Amino acid sequence: MIYVTVGNHDQPFYRLLESMDQLAAELGEEVVMQTGVSQYQPRHAKGETFFPYGKADEMIRAASVVVAHAGIGTVIACRAHGTPLVICPRRAANGEHFNDHQLEIARELIKSPRPGIAVALDESELMEKLAALRRAGKAAAGEAGTARQLKRFLRDYIAAN
Query: In whole angstroms, what is the distance from residue 43 CA to residue 145 CA?
Result: 40
Residue 144: per-residue pLDDT = 45
Domains and CATH numbers, the chain: 2-160 (3.40.50.2000)
Query: In whole angstroms, what is the distance from residue 6 CA to residue 50 CA?
Result: 9
**How much is the pTM?**
0.84
Residue 149: per-residue pLDDT = 67
Residue 153: per-residue pLDDT = 74
For 15-69, the DSSP string reads HHHHHHHHHHHHHSS-EEEE-TTS----SSSEEES---HHHHHHHHHH-SEEEE-
SS3 152: helix
Q: Tell me how far the alpha carbon of residue 113 is from its chain's centroid.
A: 15
**Which residues in the chain come in under a pLDDT of 70?**
140-149
